[in-house]
Amino acid sequence: MPEPSFNTQSPAIEVLELCRYYNSYAAVDHVSFNIEPGIIFGLLGPNGAGKSTTIKMLTTLLPVSSGTARVCGYDINLEPAQIRQMIGYVPQLLSADGELTAYENLLLSTKLYGLHHTYREKRISEVLEFMGLTPHAHQLVNQFSGGMIRRLEIAQALVHEPQVLFLDEPTVGLDPAARKTLWKHIQEWRKQFGTTILMTTHDMDEADNLCDVVAFMHLGRIVAMDAPSRLKAKLGPKSSLDDVFILHTGSSIKETGDFANAKQIRNTISHL
């Protein structure tokens, strides 16, 4: 089998035929896509679609079964250490230590990323200020609200100024006000520093409002990918990203199995 070859335009992330199998089950099945520098790319799909597995391979936390990818120009199979220095990663699960203060969590992150001690205090102050957490710097994290914890976790991921930021379901469990605040900070950061962002979500409104490009995952494969506006335009002026997903999969991304959901799917398919 020939070795995969990459193009020469140097995307921030380039994925080629990436696969992850669990015995005979393909959690990620020959996925390929490119992400240009500085954009917000949304990997969308219901639970079990393969989104988090894809992110874990790209962040070198999970070995690939076949295929490969480059992140910031480095091969995930051959150069994992270099990739980890270039990226920030915020997982779904809690990553901040509740028994430490916000400052102490960030100090630990600067040491783990190898920031020089003369630079640590400056970076901690900057990310605390940027995320609106300066007044809470010396407060224990177990006293924070959910939105404050998420902002701290993103601050931890940004403290070493990564080129690419991975966000796995960043707003799950947050109320609308906390989601709005969180994305305001993230968009401001992207605008100022040009950080490339890859996020996963199953919230179609969030993806529609925030992402430059989205890719729909279903059963481990990418079934549609483009700018949200172009995906919707192909279906008509009143179409939504939910409609796009239903068209390509025959099911809703918010699948619940109840009568109202079944009615929505059938009405959408009939309309399309």
What per-residue confidence (pLDDT) applies to 82? 96
| pLDDT beyond 70 at 254 | no
- The residue among 1 and 62 whose pLDDT is bigger is 62
Residue 265 confidence (pLDDT) above 60: no
CATH superfamily of 13-226: P-loop containing nucleotide triphosphate hydrolases (3.40.50.300)
Q: Would the pLDDT of 24 be above 50?
A: yes
DSSP H helices in the chain: 51-58, 80-86, 102-112, 117-130, 146-158, 176-193, 204-210, 228-233, 241-249, 259-271
Q: Mind listing the pLDDT tens digit for each residue in 69-83?
A: 999 999 999 999 999
Residues in the chain: 272
Res 110: pLDDT: 96
Contacts within 8 Å (CB) and 24+ apart, 250-255 = 253/44, 253/45, 253/46, 253/202, 253/204, 254/46, 254/202, 255/46
Q: What is the mean predicted confidence (pLDDT) over 216-243? A: 93
Q: What DSSP state is assigned to residue 225?
A: E
> For position 250, what pLDDT does the model report?
78
Asked whether residue 205 carries a pLDDT value surpassing 50, the answer given is: yes
Q: Give the start-to-end residue ranges of the domains of the chain.
A: 13-226, 228-272
Residue 269 has pLDDT above 70, yes or no: no
More reliable by pLDDT, 80 or 260: 80
User: Beta strand 40-44 with 213-218: parallel, antiparallel or unpaired?
Assistant: parallel
β-partners of residue 192 are none
What is the pLDDT confidence band of residue 270, given thresholds at 50, 70 and 90? Answer: very low
Whether residue 204 has pLDDT greater than 80: yes
> 209: exposed, middle or buried (C-beta count within 10 Å: 0-12, 13-18, 19+)?
exposed
Cβ-based neighbours of 91, under 8 Å, separated by 6 or more: 168
Contact yes or no for 184/177 (Cβ under 8 A): no
* Residue 248: per-residue pLDDT: 86
Q: What is the mean pLDDT of the chain?
A: 89
Q: What is the pLDDT of residue 76?
A: 97
pLDDT at 259 exceeding the cut of 90: no
d(CA 148, CA 181): 10
For residue 258, name the pLDDT band (cuts at 50, 70, 90). Answer: very low
What pLDDT, on the 0 to 100 scale, is given for residue 80? 96
